[in-house]
Amino acid sequence: IFLHICSFLDGSTLVHALSLVCERFYLILKDANSLWKARINHMWPDASWLLCPARPDKRSWMLSYVAIKQQTALWKQQESRKKRLFIKKMPADEIDAVLLMHVNGISHVVCTSKRDLLYKKLPSRKILSHKIKNFARIKFAHDTCIEEMTAIDNTIYSCGADNTVKSWELTNTGLLWKSTYNLQRSDRLDSILCCISSCPKSNLFATGSSCGTVYVFDSRSRNNPIKHYRPCPRVVINLAMNTQYIVSANEDKTVSVWDQRAGRVIKSTTIPGEALGTCMNMRRDWVFIGDRDAKLHILNLNNDFELVKSYSTEHTDMITGVRLTHECLITSSRDGTVRISSLTDPPQPIATLCSEMRYIFE
């Protein structure tokens, strides 16, 4: 009878109000997975289970339902106000990579354009318009093109075709060079650094090269790589890492998992289809990989490191970026759209945001 009464109330009221009335109400609602599954299934009849629950415990379905409702309302609202989500006019240069940073409560956007770094302090949300211009610029930050960036706290790490990784401290007054990490001379002859990823919890970052080697650095030192390994004989296209594993998407269409503690590659899996993996993102034990055919592949690190699912998306061109949040999946594409989807099997569309630019890069 109690659960029947609950079926008439919204999820936020049940979780944040009714479940706090007494211990009995809390226990009933916490264990009523069928109630939350039914609500999610009512929203998306074709979704069978959660890919990444909000929390890996008994309350996961309840919290996931509330998160889904909140995200759906948020993105549907923003979908009708698209211009506020995109920089309509960027500098005349081609933008290759973008980072959104937060320092002392202030947001900054950092971009790369060939060999230059550009950065800008964002205005407050109340006065944020659809145009952001007058970027500050560090010219010739690298000797050759900057390939990618990552960040640990307020420090940005950029890798370039000049085979160096440079660190930059973002302050309220600007972007300051800190140090340069060089590869050993023998490692620099016939390769370039193509991608970079970081794990703030362990203060480590890793960069992949065109010769198939991945170099691991300790951000607390300014020395050469602390270790390196070679997951494939060809280009390392993208990297994702946590405290235990480094996952690489390689040009030979494989996804390799390297165990940092064991110091070896423990699994290499081939991506199905003909397309290369172009981007990926890791959350807990899940790795989401986007490819050139606008498909999404999911690797479960707890399931013998196997690719457990592959999905076709509504993108019409290569997926250029994928991000997992606690509540939703965000993908960008060269078709000029950003799609927000649910973390269900299969992912269900929540909102689509369109850019006035032709391409959207990660």
Number of separate domains in the chain: 2
205 and 312 assigned to the same domain: yes
Distance CA 10, CA 39 (A): 10
* 344: pLDDT strictly greater than 90: no
295 three-state secondary structure: strand
180 and 325 assigned to the same domain: yes
Domain stops at, among 22, 44, 76? 76
Distance CA 59, CA 111 (A): 39
pLDDT band at 258; cut points 50, 70, 90: very high
Whole-prediction pTM: 0.81
336 and 218 assigned to the same domain: yes
12 and 115 assigned to the same domain: no
Cis omega before residue 346 (within 30°)? Answer: yes
CB environment 314-350: b (16+ within 10 A), e (fewer): ebeebbbbbbbeebbbbbbbbbbbbbbbbbbbbbbeb
345 and 267 assigned to the same domain: yes
* 204: pLDDT strictly greater than 90: yes
How many other CB atoms are there within 10 angstroms of residue 179's CB atom?
15
pLDDT band at 81; cut points 50, 70, 90: low
Has residue 15 been placed in a domain? yes
The pLDDT, as a whole number, for residue 129 is: 47
- Mean pLDDT (the chain) is 82
The backbone region for 80, taken as left when phi is positive above 0, alpha when psi lies in -120 to 50, beta otherwise, is alpha
The shares of helix, strand and coil residues in the chain, as percent rounded to the nearest 5, are 15, 40, 40
* 9: pLDDT strictly greater than 80: yes
Has residue 86 been placed in a domain? no
Residue 25: its H or E element? helix 23-31
Domain stops at, among 76, 109, 131? 76
185: Cβ–Cβ under 8 A, 6 or more apart, which residues? none
Better-scored residue on pLDDT, 95 or 246: 246
The pLDDT, as a whole number, for residue 101 is: 82
Domain stops at, among 29, 47, 76? 76
The pLDDT, as a whole number, for residue 60 is: 65
CATH code of the domain containing 129: 2.130.10.10
Lowest mean pLDDT among 46-50, 60-64, 272-276, 353-357: 46-50
Q: Which structural domain, as residue segments, surrounds residue 33? A: 1-76
167-194, pLDDT tens digit by residue?
999 887 788 899 988 776 555 456 789 8
* 67: pLDDT strictly greater than 60: yes
237 and 327 assigned to the same domain: yes
Lowest mean pLDDT among 47-61, 150-164, 226-240: 47-61
